[in-house]
Chains A and B, each alone.
Chain A
Amino acid sequence: MQDLLAFTIVGIVSGSIYAIAASGLVVTYTTSGVFNFAHGAIGMVAAFLYWQVKVDWGWGTWPALILVLGVFAPLFGLFIERVLMRPLAGKPTGVSLVVTVGLLVLLYGIASRVWPGTETRRVAEFLQDTRFQVAGVSVSAHQVIVLVVTVAVAAGLRLVLFRSRAGVAMRAVVDNPELAILNGALPERVSQLAWVLGSVMASLAGVLIAPGRSYNHLFLTLLVVNGYAAAILGRLRSLPLTFVGALLLGTGEAYLIGYSQRFSFGEGVLGTNGVLAELLPVLPTVFLFAVIVALPQTRLQVAKLAGGRVLRVPAMPQTLWRGACFVAMAALATALLSPTQLFNASTGLVVAMVMLSLVVLVGYSGQISLCQFTFVGIGASVMGKFFGSGSLLGLVAATLAAAAFGALVALPALRLRDIYLALATVAFALFGERLLFDHPKVFDRGATLSFERPALLGIDLENGKALFIFLAACFAAMAVLVLAVRRGPLGRRLAAMNDSPAACVTLGLNLIGTKVTVFALSAGMAGFAGALFGMLRTSVSANDFVLLVSLNTFLLAMIGGITTVTGALIGGMALPLLDTDLQGLFIGAGAILISRLPNGFAGVLYGLPARLRRPPGLGEPRLGGDTTAPVTPPLPERVPA
């Protein structure tokens, strides 16, 4: 009985912190319509900053708190609003998704550079060693402080949002910004206030949860996944439901931790700690997934102006010819590149294939996947586990296995859009990372899986040059497939679904079948690339397929240009070129910078000849996007094979 009480208190305390994080998320979402994926990363940076000031500089608790929560957090909120968010007004959700995911990767990159993970950091709890006895259970002063702060935050938010004009204006601006202005409200002010509040709450959550445990970038960043789950329970709108969700999650976690040591329920799947302990790391993800799947179906969207310029798709003969040229050039390149360069370029080709799978899914059909490397991992593990000696059959099996998982992920996608879909795929990526790939039958807890390079059709792929040409041929074949899809009936269905799901339904198009097909196709392509990834690396581990890799890949594909084959190639080749230390910085900043160009870097390349030909002063031709823009005939653009 006493145990139950103790576990409950622990659970309520951690649930309170999740609640603070989640309510910050809700405040920014309801007022700006932007779901801040970087919310957790802000909390993480705040926690590290708190350590820096309090422990490393030795300033003490109060100055550290004031500096982090009173100076850094509000200023950072203002910075996000002014620099990152204001230019996004009126842009589609996908753009803000790229920007906030980019911010996450950027902050993660900066933090792991400034505070390297090699050092152990710890911050003492508030009023350490002060403890109270409540009904025979020992409660620390820190826990009491967390509870008091949470109650204050809840009451304060309630007051601000529902009893003050600024709070009402925050909600009014989301509802109808133009009318809010006509009432005399200033949307910039309102949005600044929202981002400051969000940033402060994220930082507060970071500062409250960090003490008493050793610092870990990833743990602190993903702390917010718990927040996401809680916020989704309130449909990103209701603060009371968000608090309920956070408390459910916190107590559920505490009971799992508490009772898993007592009752192991057998050996468990992983072998050591029992079933309950294994559930622990995936509890928030399962919760998130369950809540998302239980959400009511979003209304089908009526036609929206995509804003992207429609790029011309080359004809089949042109595609084939260019594909052949590409392979020939790759063969020539083998003579010029050193073995290391060749290996890097080969990695680039494999990543480019993963990005091709994103082109079909994101670029053509407007779905979102932040778990593409989970499919890659599934492909690699199938290949390595069952066909380690390298066989063509392994490639087929890897493709099919990943496609099956893709179809599985498509199930929630049938009903979800935009951020909810993105979150569902994040949940799937974390699920894969924490349970699937840790399974002894898959990668066996960080152990590596080794591959042999096969001899195909009499060509020994043990040779780096031969493998490079083989990969180039695979990429070219996949590109031909992708462009064939784009030109064919499926491509038309995807484009139609992207433009207006509502119109598709009225025309009798089967959305369910189309979505499952495109997810399976995309995941299958990623799985195929995964098998090749294993062959190239000869050994892979679960670390190669974590969420962060998927996020990086998604952003790089966006930077390269998610709507074109060229974009995928640019994005893929860029990955091995980027220094691993600064990768996060480059990718995060690049994604933020390029987020407003719908066709990414490739789109800029294709725009160049036209821009040179056009007389100055005419400006960019547009198709869609800004409805008030002058109507000029769009210049034809070309897409490469």
Chain B
Amino acid sequence: MTAPGIELVGVRAAYGRIDVLRGVDLVVPAGSVFALLGPNGAGKSTTLRVISGRMRPRAGCVHIAGVHVNGTPPARLARAGLCSVPEGRGIFPNLTVSDNLRMATYRGGLSFSDVRDTAFERFPALSDRRTQLAGTLSGGEQQMLALARALTTNPAVLLLDEISMGLAPLIVAELYEVVARLAREGITILIVEQFARVALPVADFAGIMTQGRIQVVGEPADVEAALSEAYLGAV
């Protein structure tokens, strides 16, 4: 049996004196999609910050593909194949579309022309706008550009933080098609979403996070049933 793609054991993290993660245990089996749901302020984004190396946990272990990575600089994780699309739009607004794609080549063993060709093949809309500043793209196109990095750099692990935020339902559906395709390629994906409806269909597993802990883990259907209780408290 291969090691899980992402594994957190008893992870605690805090901003100053305010505890945000109070013992997070999470296993995302290699090649599967995990949807992490939960209300605002539950600690979902912080969990991603810890996994991507941007924040050091106070206690506990972070394993990526079986390797203990606590304290590894985020840039090194990124070069090793951890692709993370942060909250908001994961693009450089004042760089052209091409330059944005060039930034993806820090992942080892990639040439710029490969990245560019794959991205433009998958998203022809971007090809027409290659010399345009990324900040002038529409919200959907910006998020496509952000996903293009995941699509072209062959990551081992992909972290997606609220990619549906502020986008029209049609566009969101399109984005999640891309996610589903990435999942079929065997990438381990951790999705953080507030809107369960869009994330659950592509997920193999799901969990609900409240108050700094993952309270419920299970099949998407079971978790969906438990959602309202987790959000609103036991009725």
Does chain B have a CB within 8 A of A631? Answer: yes
Residues from 133 to 183 in B contacting A, C-beta threshold 8 Å: 149
Does chain A have a CB within 8 A of B52? Answer: yes
Binary interface encoding of chain B residues 5-17 relative to chain A, with 1 for a CB under 8 A from any of its CBs, else 0:
0000000000111
Does chain A have a CB within 8 A of B213? Answer: no
Which chain A positions have C-beta within 8 A of B54? 178, 181-182
- A169 CB to nearest chain B CB (Å): 7
Q: Is the CB of B102 within 8 A of A182?
A: no
- A167 CB to nearest chain B CB (Å): 9
Binary interface encoding of chain A residues 167-180 relative to chain B, with 1 for a CB under 8 A from any of its CBs, else 0:
01101101110111
Which chain A positions have C-beta within 8 A of B105? 165
Q: Is the CB of B95 within 8 A of A183?
A: no
Residues from 63 to 118 in B contacting A, C-beta threshold 8 Å: 74-76, 78-79, 83-84, 86, 90-95, 99, 102-107, 112
Residues from 177 to 213 in A contacting B, C-beta threshold 8 Å: 178-186
Closest to A164 in B: B102
Does chain B have a CB within 8 A of A629? Answer: yes
- A181 CB to nearest chain B CB (Å): 5
State which of B52, B75, B83, B90 has its C-beta within 8 Å of the C-beta of A185.
B75
State which of B15, B99, B149 has its C-beta within 8 Å of the C-beta of A172.
B99
Q: Is the CB of A185 within 8 A of B106?
A: yes
Chain A: number of interface residues, binned into ranges = 20 to 34
Which chain A positions have C-beta within 8 A of B52? 182
Which chain A positions have C-beta within 8 A of B225? none
Q: Is the CB of A168 within 8 A of B107?
A: no
Does chain A have a CB within 8 A of B235? Answer: no
Q: Is the CB of A183 within 8 A of B17?
A: no
Does chain A have a CB within 8 A of B1? Answer: no
Which chain A positions have C-beta within 8 A of B91? 179
Closest to A163 in B: B102
CA distance A165 to B79 in the complex (A): 14
Does chain A have a CB within 8 A of B18? Answer: yes
- B211 CB to nearest chain A CB (Å): 19
State which of B16, B90, B99 has its C-beta within 8 Å of the C-beta of A628.
B16
Which chain B positions have C-beta within 8 A of A180? 92, 103
Which chain B positions have C-beta within 8 A of A169? 103
Which chain A positions have C-beta within 8 A of B15? 628
Which chain A positions have C-beta within 8 A of B86? 178-179, 182
Q: Is the CB of B74 within 8 A of A185?
A: no
Binary interface encoding of chain A residues 607-641 relative to chain B, with 1 for a CB under 8 A from any of its CBs, else 0:
00000000000000000000011110000000000
- B131 CB to nearest chain A CB (Å): 11
CA distance A127 to B76 in the complex (A): 49
CA distance A329 to B74 in the complex (A): 59
Which chain A positions have C-beta within 8 A of B106? 165, 183-185
Closest to B134 in A: A175
Q: Is the CB of A630 within 8 A of B16?
A: yes
Q: Check A179/B90 contact, CB under 8 A, given A185-B103, A630-B16.
A: yes
Which chain A positions have C-beta within 8 A of B92? 171-172, 175-176, 179-180
Which chain A positions have C-beta within 8 A of B149? 183
Which chain A positions have C-beta within 8 A of B103? 165, 168-169, 172, 180, 183, 185
Which secondary structure dominates chain A's binding surface? helix
Closest to B84 in A: A182
CA distance A628 to B56 in the complex (A): 14
Closest to A162 in B: B99
Q: Check A171/B75 contact, CB under 8 A, given A183-B103, A184-B106.
A: no
Q: Is the CB of A168 within 8 A of B95?
A: yes
Which chain A positions have C-beta within 8 A of B95? 168, 171-172, 175
- A561 CB to nearest chain B CB (Å): 27
Closest to B108 in A: A184
- B228 CB to nearest chain A CB (Å): 32
Q: Is the CB of A183 within 8 A of B78?
A: yes
CA distance A184 to B115 in the complex (A): 15
Which chain B positions have C-beta within 8 A of A165? 102-103, 105-106, 112
CA distance A195 to B105 in the complex (A): 24
CA distance A631 to B17 in the complex (A): 8
CA distance A603 to B15 in the complex (A): 27
Which chain B positions have C-beta within 8 A of A182? 52, 54, 74, 78, 83-84, 86, 90
CA distance A182 to B159 in the complex (A): 11
- A301 CB to nearest chain B CB (Å): 18
Interface hub of B95, B103, B104 (most chain A Cβ within 10 A): B103
Interface hub of A176, A180, A185 (most chain B Cβ within 10 A): A176
CA distance A109 to B14 in the complex (A): 46
Closest to A183 in B: B103
CA distance A184 to B108 in the complex (A): 9
Q: Check A184/B16 contact, CB under 8 A, given A168-B99, A168-B102.
A: no
CA distance A185 to B92 in the complex (A): 13
Interface hub of B90, B92, B93 (most chain A Cβ within 10 A): B92
Binary interface encoding of chain A residues 68-102 relative to chain B, with 1 for a CB under 8 A from any of its CBs, else 0:
00000000000000000000000000000000000
Closest to A180 in B: B103
Q: Is the CB of A630 within 8 A of B75?
A: no
Which chain A positions have C-beta within 8 A of B18? 630-631
CA distance A628 to B79 in the complex (A): 28
CA distance A629 to B16 in the complex (A): 5
CA distance A162 to B95 in the complex (A): 10
- B56 CB to nearest chain A CB (Å): 12
Interface hub of B17, B99, B104 (most chain A Cβ within 10 A): B99
Q: Is the CB of A183 within 8 A of B104?
A: yes
Which chain B positions have C-beta within 8 A of A184? 75-76, 78-79, 106-107
Which chain A positions have C-beta within 8 A of B104? 183
CA distance A162 to B18 in the complex (A): 43
Can you give 5 contacting A-B residue pairs, CB < 8 Å?
A171-B92, A171-B99, A178-B54, A178-B86, A181-B74
Rank and list the top 3 A-B pairs by shortest CB-CB distance, nearest first.
A184-B106, A184-B78, A630-B16
Q: Which residues of A contact B (CB under 8 A)?
A: 162, 165, 168-169, 171-172, 174-176, 178-186, 628-631
Known: A171-B99, A186-B75, A631-B17. 8 other contacts (CB 8 A): A171-B94, A179-B91, A180-B92, A181-B74, A183-B106, A184-B75, A184-B79, A185-B75
